């Protein structure tokens, strides 16, 4: 079966090529000279959306009176959502692609506010299948208290406040422009006598369409409250249990909920919903892309690659499948193939998911300047709070890796101005504060992170901060954090997640070293990446097997990735194997690159250099 066009497919001519005006990011970058991209204005595509809604309303008005009002509303909403997606695709394509010179090496990057597919218009409900009704969602996780007086909360950070003040004027202008579209939409809907819903302000400055009963659009799921939208989908599926698209959308929503909340218990729910979709419509694209995303989230990258390839065989322009394929190849350590896959995705579906992956290609090869330029270009195209938070946090992580703390704090402030609960920005900000010596503020900030999201990385960092502080009860507090890592690992495995890499990294320093080595060997056997090579090298060192560790620590540096923790591990192993001068040079390089790369590691690197004098 040849490539099929859908609402997500960029416009092309009859010969399959892009129209002359449909510029890629790489082409735009080369023409501009400096590689910077330009984003379409906030109102881009509004006229097309209103016109599409009018067409749907007109068709609905001429249909047989025997058809129900609910069916007409569903058709109109689905058409509007499809046209919104086409307009968004055109805007993304207009910003262009990022590829210049090719490079190997990528990393798995979670997609920003994923494009969840629109549920298909279902057949009449079948009352004979009550057991297929979706399970109710668990209570929403509280985002935690916001103390406006505290110095550690993101809301009180002057950088965050400054970004928000600057953005407020733009938001008001956007609201005025959207207001004009609301009028056109109201006229179109009134003419067709179809009650689709109204535009509402969800409190983030982004207008979100309130969908008709029984239908949720990708825009509504991306821009609104995920918890509320999941409940709405569940209610829809209780009434329409044979809507295969609705089940696929619910499965993807559960995957996103697990990712954003750090709750792996959602993965079995996602699997059941996606399986139900495939039972109703075997081989449907929405469910297969969902299975790819779920497999990747569980670190089952061979499975993810298989599902992505199945989708791309039928629809080569599926953005989610293209990105899932890149991610799987990256995490399997098949870097040359991943680089080609990124080029293909960049040609077919340029946009934020591809831009962020390409940026890491450059960072992994040591080209930090290009990586930052590409991420800035991606941020310029970001329109939703989720996308802005995602890309700005990636910029903050890039700056942090290079020891540029002032820039990192500014980037994290941009992310938190868009979403004050965005986990990577909250964690990154706390790490920067610790590296700058603001220990009390850093401890308070990291405590807030782990109270909401008790994940291995923040738990280990908080434990090390407690140990460094050394106050009364701090050793016991640190031990509690390390114990929670074990609890999270058990929960993740119960949810079907392969957690060996997390186990190896945490246990090598703060747990059972024999378990750490077993986990590191198992993970390296499954996928040979720079990260698994580094984890295995460190687990071998901590187990007293330095001669064997030397090979893997050198393998971790093979791509040129500039990572201070990797350099610290390498320097320590080099010294342990008799390469004293090489080891000291690696330790100095780690501290030059990022003086506060790790609370424990940076302290030990400085002590080793002091002892060597």
Q: What is the mean pLDDT of residues 23-40?
A: 38
Compute the average pLDDT of residues 458-476: 95
Is 244 a member of any domain? yes
206 pLDDT above the threshold of 90? no
- Mean of the per-residue pLDDT values of the chain: 74
Residue 555, token pair as written in the block: 């393998």
Q: What is the pLDDT of residue 99?
A: 54
pLDDT digits (tens, 9 = 90+) for 47-99: 444 444 444 444 444 444 444 444 444 455 555 555 555 555 544 444 456 65
Q: How many domains does the chain have?
A: 1
Do 279 and 159 form a contact (C-beta atoms < 8 A)?
A: no
Write the CB contacts of 28 (distance below 8 Å, at least 6 apart in sequence).
37, 38, 95, 96
Q: Which residues of 81-92 are buried (b: 16+ CB within 10 A; e: fewer)?
A: bbbbbbbbbbbb
Tens of pLDDT, residue by residue over 363-410, are: 877 889 989 998 999 999 999 998 999 999 999 999 999 999 999 999
Please enumerate in sequence order all residues whose Cβ is within 8 A of that of 72, keeping only pairs 6 or more positions apart, or say none.
Answer: 60, 63, 192, 194
Flag whether 173 is in a domain.
no
Instruction: Name 260's Cβ contacts closer than 8 Å, sequence gap at least 6.
Output: 226, 423
Q: If 0-12 CB within 10 Å is exposed, 13-18 middle and 19+ buried, where does residue 474 land?
A: middle
- Please indicate, yes or no, if residue 232 is contained in any of the structural domains: yes
Burial class (CB in 10 A: 0-12, 13-18, 19+), 458: buried
Could you give the CA distance from residue 100 to residue 136 in angstroms, rounded to a whole number?
Answer: 48
Q: Which of 600, 591, 597, 567 is nearest to 397 (CA)?
A: 597
What are the residues facing 199 on neighbouring strands? Answer: 209
Decide if 307 is inside a domain.
yes
**Mean local confidence (pLDDT), 22-49:** 38
- Supply the range of the domain harboring residue 317: 216-332
Sequence-distant (≥ 6) Cβ neighbours of residue 212 within 8 angstroms: 70, 73, 74, 76, 77, 195, 196, 197
Two structure tokens written together for 368: 């930090």
Q: What percent of the chain has pLDDT over 90?
A: 48
Q: Kindly state whether residue 419 falls inside one of the protein's structural domains.
A: no
Residue 419's pLDDT band, with cuts at 50, 70 and 90, is very high
- The number of residues making up the chain comes to 613
Please tell me which residue, 543 or 187, carries the higher pLDDT value.
543
Tens digit of each residue's pLDDT (9 = 90 or more) over 128-163:
333 344 554 443 333 333 443 344 455 556 555 555
CA distance 188 to 151: 50
pLDDT at 132: 44
Q: How confident is the model at residue 496 (pLDDT cuts 50, 70, 90)?
A: confident
Alpha helices in 20-148, H assignment, sequence order: 25-32, 46-62, 69-95
261-265, 326-330, 518-522: least confidently modelled range: 261-265
Q: Is residue 75 part of a domain?
A: no
Q: Is residue 319 part of a domain?
A: yes
- What integer is the mean pLDDT of 201-225? 36
Give the model's pLDDT for residue 227.
Answer: 84
Calculate the CA dihedral of residues 222, 223, 224, 227 and round it to 10 degrees: 20
Query: Is a pLDDT exceeding 70 seen at residue 508?
Result: yes
SS3 of residue 207 by DSSP: strand
In this structure, is residue 283 part of a structural domain?
yes
- H/E segment holding residue 209: strand 207-209
User: What is the DSSP-derived secondary structure letter of residue 201?
Assistant: E
Question: CA-to-CA distance for 510 and 483, rounded, in angstroms?
Answer: 9
Q: Nearest Cα to 570, choosing from 603, 597, 534?
A: 534
What average pLDDT does this structure show over 217-235?
Answer: 69
What CATH number corresponds to the domain at position 296? 1.25.40.10
């Amino acid at each position: 079966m040849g490539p099929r066009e859908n609402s997500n497919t960029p416009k092309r001519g009859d010969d399959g090529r892009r129209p002359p005006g449909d510029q890629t990011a790489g082409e735009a970058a080369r023409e501009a000279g400096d590689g910077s991209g330009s984003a379409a204005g906030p109102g881009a595509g509004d006229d097309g959306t209103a016109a599409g809604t009018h067409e749907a309303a007109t068709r609905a008005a001429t249909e047989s009176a025997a058809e129900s009002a609910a069916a007409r509303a569903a058709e109109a909403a689905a058409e509007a959502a499809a046209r919104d997606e086409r307009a968004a695709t055109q805007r993304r394509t207009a910003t262009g692609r990022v590829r210049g010179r090719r490079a190997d090496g990528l990393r798995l990057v979670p997609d920003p506010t994923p494009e969840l597919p629109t549920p298909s218009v279902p057949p009449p409900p079948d009352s004979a299948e009550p057991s297929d009704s979706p399970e109710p969602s668990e209570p929403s996780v509280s985002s935690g208290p916001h103390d406006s007086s505290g110095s550690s909360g993101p809301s009180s950070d002057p950088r965050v406040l400054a970004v928000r003040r600057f953005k407020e004027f733009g938001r008001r202008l956007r609201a005025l422009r959207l207001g004009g579209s609301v009028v056109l939409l109201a006229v179109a809907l009134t003419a067709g006598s179809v009650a689709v819903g109204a535009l509402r302000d969800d409190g983030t400055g982004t207008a979100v369409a309130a969908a008709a009963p029984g239908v949720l659009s990708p825009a509504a799921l991306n821009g609104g409250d995920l918890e509320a939208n999941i409940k709405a989908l569940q209610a829809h599926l209780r009434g329409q249990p044979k809507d295969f698209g609705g089940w696929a959308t619910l499965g993807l929503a559960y995957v996103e909920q697990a990712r954003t909340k750090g709750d792996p218990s959602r993965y079995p729910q996602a699997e059941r919903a996606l399986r139900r979709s495939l039972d109703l419509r075997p081989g449907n694209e929405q469910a297969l892309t969902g299975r790819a995303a779920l497999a990747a989230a569980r670190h089952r990258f061979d499975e993810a690659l298989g599902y992505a390839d199945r989708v791309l065989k039928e629809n080569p322009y599926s953005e989610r499948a293209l990105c899932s394929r890149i991610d799987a190849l990256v995490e399997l350590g098949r870097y040359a193939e991943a680089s080609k896959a990124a080029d293909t995705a960049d040609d077919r579906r340029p946009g934020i998911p591809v831009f962020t992956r390409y940026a890491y290609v450059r960072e992994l090869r040591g080209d930090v300047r290009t990586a930052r330029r590409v991420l800035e270009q991606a941020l310029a195209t970001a329109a939703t709070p989720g996308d802005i938070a995602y890309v700005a946090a990636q910029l903050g992580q890039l700056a942090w890796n290079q020891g540029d703390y002032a820039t990192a704090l500014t980037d994290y402030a941009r992310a938190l101005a868009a979403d004050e609960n965005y986990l990577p920005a909250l964690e990154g900000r706390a790490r920067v504060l610790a590296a700058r010596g603001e220990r009390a503020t850093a401890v308070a900030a990291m405590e807030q992170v782990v109270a909401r999201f008790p994940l291995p990385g923040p738990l280990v960092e908080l434990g090390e901060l407690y140990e460094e502080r050394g106050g009364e009860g701090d050793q016991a507090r640190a031990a509690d954090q390390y114990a929670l890592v074990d609890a999270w690992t058990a929960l993740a495995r119960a949810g079907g997640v392969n957690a060996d890499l997390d186990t190896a990294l945490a246990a090598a320093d703060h747990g059972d070293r024999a378990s750490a080595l077993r986990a590191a060997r198992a993970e390296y056997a499954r996928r040979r990446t720079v990260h698994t090579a580094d984890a295995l090298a460190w687990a071998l060192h901590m187990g007293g097997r330095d001669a064997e560790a030397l090979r893997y620590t050198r393998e971790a540096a093979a791509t040129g990735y500039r990572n201070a923790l990797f350099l610290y591990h390498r320097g320590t192993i080099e010294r342990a194997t008799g390469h004293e001068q090489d080891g000291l040079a690696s330790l100095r390089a780690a501290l030059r690159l990022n003086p506060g790369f790790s609370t424990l590691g940076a302290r030990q690197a400085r002590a080793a250099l002091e002892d060597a004098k």
